[in-house]
């Protein structure tokens, strides 16, 4: 039996876990289209890091994984 597991960089996991552990952040994630949209929304609250990760240190691969995560959390946007 093959089991597929996706392993993300620890930075991405820290951010995802922080979002999932906070109802307010999770609600914002549900309304956003992608990571950039999410960052714009939470920056209005003065948030520039989550889970101990400063957003300035994210690389393109991290952002792609976070885009996919935010999109999966969204309850309104359909492909």
Q: Is the per-residue pLDDT at 78 higher than 60?
A: no
Structure confidence at residue 9 as a pLDDT band (50, 70, 90): confident
Using an 8 Å Cβ cutoff, are 15 and 53 in contact?
yes
Mean pLDDT of 4-9: 55
Give yes or no for residue 5 having a pLDDT over 70: no
CA–CA distances in Å: residue 3 to residues 6, 8, 69: 10, 16, 20
77: pLDDT strictly greater than 90: no
Q: Residues 20-52: pLDDT tens digits?
A: 999 999 999 999 999 999 999 999 999 999 999
């Amino acid at each position: 039996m093959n089991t597929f597991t996706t392993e993300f960089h620890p930075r991405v996991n820290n951010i995802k876990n922080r979002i999932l552990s906070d109802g307010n952040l999770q609600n914002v994630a549900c309304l956003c289209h992608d990571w950039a949209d999410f960052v714009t929304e939470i920056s209005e609250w003065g948030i520039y890091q989550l889970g101990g990760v400063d957003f300035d240190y994210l690389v393109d691969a991290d952002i792609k994984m976070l885009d996919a995560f935010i999109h999966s959390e969204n309850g309104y946007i359909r492909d």
